[in-house]
Amino acid sequence: MTTSHYIAGRWVEGQGSDCISVNDPAMGLPFAELMAASVAQVDQAVAAAREALPAWKQTSASQRAAYLRGFAEQLGQRREALVTLQMRNNGKPRHEAEIDLDDAIATFNYYADLAEQLPQKNCDVPLAAPGFTARTRLEPVGVVGLIVPWNFPLVTSAWKLAPALAAGCTVVLKPSEVTPLMEQTYGQIADTLGLPAGVLNIVNGKAETGAALSGHNGLDKLSFTGSNSVGSQVMRSASAQCRPVTLELGGKSAIVVFDDCDVEQAVEWIVAGISWNAGQMCSATSRLLVQDGIADALLPRLQAALENLRVGNPLSEEVDMGPLTSQAQWLKVASYFATAREEGLQCLAGGKALDRDGWFVSPTLYVDVPADSRLWTEEIFGPVLCARRFATEAQAIAEANDSRFGLVATVCSADLERAERVADALEVGHVWINSVQAVFVETSWGGTKGSGIGRELGPWGLSGYLSVKHVTRCLG
């Protein structure tokens, strides 16, 4: 699998110095290799996108919409292969992999619809002053670099690629080196659809490739999803060019459970918020705030539910949770188990790596975790849940907001007026009330504080790839 880069409408071999090993996390073994792109190949990809931009941004909205619907249709035709690859390379259970694919398909169809509405956004602007007319034009930002993570391949790239193409931008996409194969599909689909050469370019690689793209002076915008540490480097690179960025970064999100909740229902929402994708989500609700009146009933049931989750290889078993996606992440989560032991935290469930082939850990619950514990304040990116009790609504809000992150939160209460009130008070970008983390393409995605800059999905996702121009004319 050496022809791993899609540049100017052609598949080319990597010329970089890094060899990327693609692993099956359930076995802890590689099943594919590819060579990274060189810095020169990143230059070629950006140049191809730059060359393709003038013609692509002049295509009609209906033409761009047709291409986007073609991406959606082609993803559906590749369904079984893509679901299986997700299971094999990410370790996702089948039901999660299927939802991911459906999410990507819905994203391309949604932005196809928005693309067709763009001409109506160019309109006259009423002026108070006589003697002048003004009109608004929405234009593509230009050439954009897209850097996506390994926890939701295909999905996160769809969230960026679909609105960028809908807006009339050309793209250089860099997938994660952990999961590079899923995004190859987009290049294959571009070939099938006859997408003009250079509109979509894909370069694979590690840190060197990402740095070459994020610091490239040929980009007009950069959109990055990943860790805060890398996000800060991306932002520094963009600042040298005064280039706009969208950053979707980490989280340490709270789930607040009030004592009027149905216990079994609350347990379902809590487990889903920490075990989905083995907790490898920026939106994982890894801080549980449970009201005193329900805590003694809820925590034992939660312990049992976590212990009863079926953990295993999704390709050979029916499982609720698969392995962690990489050995590096497995080692990171194991280090937090060691920290918990050093801090003397009370562990009700899990707290260990599993003694089997592959990168498996147990779903974990720590209780009465101090607010200054590293496990309470730092993003772990694994199925590790920390619980604290609270007495009053005001206390719950204060503790939920006491974080350097602000991505999402969940509120569980039978008192819907209170739930809405608490949702309004939480300093985050998205709140669920009495629900699992259902994400819809029509709603926005992004956070406050250290969780990033800008929004994806919905019309806000499209606006991030559009530039506003006003034309004012004197009538005199």
Q: For CA atoms 261, 265, 268, 273, give the dihedral sign.
A: negative
User: From CA 409, how far away is CA 430, in angstroms rounded?
Assistant: 7
Residue 150 CB: number of other CB atoms within 10 A? 20
**41 Cβ contact list (under 8 Å, min separation 6):** 5, 7, 12, 14, 15, 16, 203
Segments of 269-320 assigned E as strands: 287-291
Kind plus residue range of the DSSP H or E element containing 184:
helix 181-193
Residue from 96, 177, 183, 248 carrying the catalytic annotation? 248
Contact (Cβ atoms closer than 8 angstroms) between residue 343 and residue 373? yes
Residue found by looking up tokens 């976590």 in the block = 306
Is 282 a residue of the active site?
yes
Q: What is the DSSP string of 391-413?
A: SSHHHHHHHHH-SSEESEEEEE-
**Distance of alpha carbon 298 from alpha carbon 61, whole angstroms:** 52
Joined together, the tokens standing for residue 245 give: 């960025």
Helix, strand or coil, per DSSP, at residue 54: helix
Structure tokens at 73: 């249709």
Place of tokens 């029916």: 318
Distances (CA, A) of 232 to 219, 238, 403, 411, 448: 18, 10, 18, 30, 15
Helix axis angle for 181-193 and 79-90, nearest 10°, is 160
Q: Following CA atoms 128, 130, 132, 133 in sequence, which dihedral angle do they give, to the nearest 10 degrees?
A: 50
Among the listed residues 169, 261, 282, 386, the single catalytic one is: 282
Pairing between β-strand 408-412 and β-strand 405-406 as defined by DSSP bridges = unpaired
Supply the residues annotated as catalytic.
Answer: 248, 282
